[in-house]
Amino acid sequence: MLRVIFHLDMDAFYASVEQRDYPELRGKPVIVGASPDRRGVVCAASYEARAFGVRSAMPSRTAQRLCPDGIFIRPRIDAYRSESRKIMERLTALGGEVEQVSVDEAYLDMSHRFEVFEKAIAIALGRQMKDLIRDERRLTASIGIGANKLLAKIASDHGKPDGLFCISEEEKVAFLRPLPASAIHGVGKVTAEALGKMGLWTIGDIQDYKGDLRAVAGSFALKLKAYAFGDDDRPLDLDGEIKSISAEETFERDTQDRRILVPVLKDQARDIAAKLIKERLAARTVQVKVRYSDFKTLTRQTSVEEPFETPDEIYAIACAILRRERLVDRPLRLIGLGVSGLVPPSTQMVFNFCR
């Protein structure tokens, strides 16, 4: 069945809205988030600030050290959400199904516009979307186009910022070959390192590999191989409501070494916190998932009364679960971390975050 999927990713969305609304900020390193003289984190950074290494979910004090001339802006969450609604409504009016992944990111299924996948027509439609956003909202977006969500996302990443890129069915295998394995959806830092130790540094290496990938990818092995060839049958999720956020890593060798597990858990907590911050959500439940060498998988969770959103809180609750349930009493093949029970942050949380 013919599919033509577009992936739209607004460029440095929060910071770009600030630079649009306040022209004196244009071309300057804008950091949206907590003031560096208070305990808090970065919500978003302009490309000028990113050039200094500033990233979302980074402590604001760290951001200031990296970018001393950075201009810290208190987030205007209502303004960003309002802008997001206007953009998504405009895209929806073009027809087709829309999966809004986050406040600044969406997939669009525009298959109804095509009888066959014609690259020139797809690029023309992508240009129309970009022009609408630029002319009506005075913002820029990167758009990727492909026959599925995987290719569309890789294409939009390839063109950032303010890019437009299309990967056709005929081109996909050759285009993917030189890309790093980490470009594949679902390949995190630990899995990428484990693949590298097997000599599988690029997607092309995975395409050519004839062995069993389950040793490093577990149950993800079959999907990993399919993704390496640009095949992805995931449908668009039209619900639009984020119910949970999670991350997991499969180890090259089973381990219960704290020197390996602690950095992985901290990275997962940071990634999850960054998504919570981006969506202006908090969570009430932390879930830990472990898989052992015999493929036995356990999940345990803890819910708390007060919502949380910081990496330190997520990590601390995860560690408490691991200790309480004695989940690391033998080597692990996989460890995962997730949050659910998502709610808007309380007024006090927003106040603490923004100050």
The residue behind tokens 């390996």 is 260
Active-site pick, 18, 83, 105, 248: 105
Secondary structure letter of residue 135 according to DSSP: I
Integer Cα distance of 241 and 92 in angstroms: 17
Q: Is 105 a catalytic residue?
A: yes
Kindly report the CA angle at 326 between 322 and 330, in degrees rounded to 5? 105
Exposed/middle/buried for 348, CB within 10 Å: 0-12, 13-18, 19+? exposed
The SS3 assignment for 100 reads strand
Task: DSSP letter for 109, please.
Answer: E
Distance CA 270, CA 261 (A): 14
Burial 68-100, CB ≥16 within 10 A → b, else e: eebbbbebbbeebeebbeebbeebeeeebbbbb
Q: Can you tell me the distance from the alpha carbon of 172 to that of 155, in angstroms, rounded to the nearest whole number?
A: 10
- Name the residues annotated as catalytic: 105
